[in-house]
Structure 1
């Protein structure tokens, strides 16, 4: 049996969280005014959204561009919203990249809405011809493109346009269509390459995000929110607009 002190310390220093965070400052972490404006819109509409940020339930889908690549996540672009599985006491690196304005929802709620972790693929300078990293991604990409050219295209006119989830395909054509959908919707969009040789604080080291993805927008109620993060000095402004979050505001010093 583990000593009680060890169990208590491990709970205090845990590396996963019961709440998942969405920060709104991608590409402009230091622009507090713009990020406060986006956070206000998120809380006002009750919606964490993917482009075009229309406040609806969003779309479940993806775009395939065959001359693009898995390595930079442009081959398949899904309509997902993203969340970070990071405890409050370890948010500093993430905030330095995405700004100090965000909202957290319980992990159990996001799981119930279909969110799940991505699969990280570490890249390194020596992996071009290996069975890992870039070599692995290029092999997966080549197989997927070959599958499209050699199997899907010749059968395109006879493939079913829909299927019943959980039902085993009963024909050759149903099996082809099902494999294509699983690859393009459920597998490839959840691969997340990252440069493993960068420091943890580098903006391009995505591993530290501990990312989860969910298809469609994330609609929520005020009661669903576990934490609202703002830069220190913005607490009063948030309270004026959203007094219902008074007991859940986490001010962050940058």
Structure 2
């Protein structure tokens, strides 16, 4: 029977160096420009963009990742879905302009916005004075990070490309950031500023990396078979991070994109 989703969560990138970095340090969340932001709860017509810190995965089976490899890169790492669930990763909700959810999300936004205004006017504790983890307006910000348009445009390598996001079966890790942690969200202008974006990425990478154990790894993907030896050597240099037996097992998880495209 054909498999629709995998029991593995895959993360793809465009270089072996990044895979080695992930094996050494875990996943470092980075800011990504998203079409659905806070305005999702207040304006159906608004398309304002903001950047959200995240690490993205998919649960596409290997037999269906050819386009994913072409778009995101031929290097990847796959971890068990149980690991993902334990660490709060979640599949996205995809919506379109006429989705029923939008009406209810906007009602929620108006209700919370009205309650905030009432509290401020009456002299009660204003939402802005609440701790972030207790602030319902912040909760709206957080919730918007788990919605995605069914289709739209994606900022990719300094340009917009058309994308049917629904086909990607995305799972996402979004760290909860407090104001004292530094950058929380970036405006589009801040995101497009290379220095500000790099600074924000460095800040969250230090404190919010997503860790895993060797037994969580199901696949390590390189582009070509002749790159496997170099990755063997890289794993051998990680003896302070993994035991000798763990390194031996990790080596058995290595597969090439060439093999995947030929055999799956």
- Using structure 2 for the length normalisation, give the TM-score: 0.61
Q: Which runs of 4+ in 1 moved over 3 A?
A: 63-73, 139-151
SS, match of residue 219 in structure 1: coil
In 1, Cα distance between equivalents of 2:43 and 2:75: 32
* CA offsets 1:60-87 (integer angstroms, 9 cap, x no match): xxx9589999976725x44322110111
Question: Structure 1 residues 140-149 or 36-45, which shifts more?
Answer: 140-149
Q: Which residue in the other structure is 1:87 paired with?
A: 61
- Verify: 1:215 aligned to 2:179, yes or no: no
Q: Which residue in the other structure is 2:49 paired with?
A: 74
Contact 1:235-1:249 within 8 A present in 2 as well: yes
In 2, Cα distance between equivalents of 1:42 and 1:147: 42
- Verify: 1:249 aligned to 2:254, yes or no: yes
Q: Which residue in the other structure is 1:20 paired with?
A: 9
Contact 2:74-2:257 within 8 A present in 1 as well: yes
Figure out how many residues of one structure are paired with residues of the other and give that number. 194
Contact 2:9-2:57 within 8 A present in 1 as well: yes
Q: Which residue in the other structure is 1:48 paired with?
A: 27
In 2, Cα distance between equivalents of 1:224 and 1:247: 13
In 1, Cα distance between equivalents of 2:74 and 2:23: 15
- Which residue, out of 79, 88, 92, partners 1:105? 79
5+ residue gaps, structure 1: 1-9, 26-34, 53-62, 165-173, 197-201
Contact 2:55-2:172 within 8 A present in 1 as well: yes
The offset of 1:252, in angstroms, is 0.9
- Using structure 1 for the length normalisation, give the TM-score: 0.63
In 2, Cα distance between equivalents of 1:221 and 1:145: 39
5+ residue gaps, structure 2: 32-36, 153-160, 176-208, 237-246
